[in-house]
Amino acid sequence: MGPTASGKTALALELARRFPVELISVDSALVFKDMDIGTAKPDKETLAAFPHRLVDLISPEEAYSAARFRKEALAAMAEIRAAGKVPLLVGGTLLYFKALLEGLADLPQADPAIRAQLDAEAAAKGWPALHAELARLDPETAARLHPTDAQRLQRALEICRLTGRAMSELLAAGQDGAPPYRFLSLSLLPSERSVLHERIARRFQEMLLGGLVEEVERLRRRYELTPELPSMRCVGYRQVWEWMEGRYSRQELTNRGIFATRQLAKRQITWLTNSIPGEIFDCLAANLNERVTRRVDDFLD
């Protein structure tokens, strides 16, 4: 587990070279087909040599959920174990890790009327105003959400209005327990955030040079997309979409993409330090691979 640009994929591939493991992606963006550049999806050669479960599952027109992830991850884990290998889960969607490790509450289904009402309120007042409302109703959930994280803010407020209870309260009350596995949880965290920020800036600029804008253009031609879909709310894709709509300059696109990615990393680090226990390794350390490999070797022994 780790924030964006912490080197999770490279480390996972190194472990796959050394141990009898099979990879399972824990990434809410990698589930989308044809979204390769902006998600930093491993290339076709890498996926052929080191297959990843739960990659390229749905079209960008569809939505994926933590509940579906948990069900499909547990099924994949069982298949991997039956084949005599060890599941290696790798990614940065910490809600999915939490759902896998602790279970999920029985939350209410989406209500189109309430969602439309929330969208209208956000259009009138802005998502930060709705974030302030959530902070009054469910401070625990609000504390881990960015004031402009429209998708998750909408869901949390929807639950409050449907049930009269905080989502955090329902999650705590309804967890159905950890799966029957012994876990080694490895958290990759940076000793210097400034270095991680440099990595993020360099990677986003490389994505733009590598064709991120052209990728979004292809997606818009091929699929029936709107900016409200989860796929187009992904960091990078949202900023490119807004630039294509003429909302700001190309330089501003770069700046906004880097800033949004840094904000994502900040939220991921908060999750890892406050909500999901794991053995911490400095993702910037020169001997990271050696230290993690040694720890995995001990664990498997």
DSSP assignment string, 173-239: HH-----SS----EEEE-S-HHHHHHHHHHHHHHHHHTTHHHHHHHHHHHS---TTSTGGGSTTHHH
Structure confidence by residue, pLDDT tens digits, 88-128 = 999 999 999 999 998 877 778 888 899 999 999 999 999 99
How many whole angstroms separate alpha carbon 245 and alpha carbon 131?
26
For the chain, list the domains and their CATH numbers.
8-104+176-300 (3.40.50.300), 112-174 (1.10.20.140)
pTM: 0.82
20 secondary structure, DSSP code: S
Does 174 score more than 70 pLDDT? Answer: no
What's the Rg (C-alpha) of the chain? 19
CB distance 150 to 128 below 8 Å: no
- At a CB cut-off of 8 Å and minimum separation 6, what does 78 contact? none
Nearest to 73 by CA among 55, 58, 60: 55
Residue 175 pLDDT class (50, 70, 90 cuts)? low
Residue 164 pLDDT class (50, 70, 90 cuts)? very high
Element at 169 (helix H, strand E): helix 167-174
CA triple 164-169-174, angle to 5 deg: 110
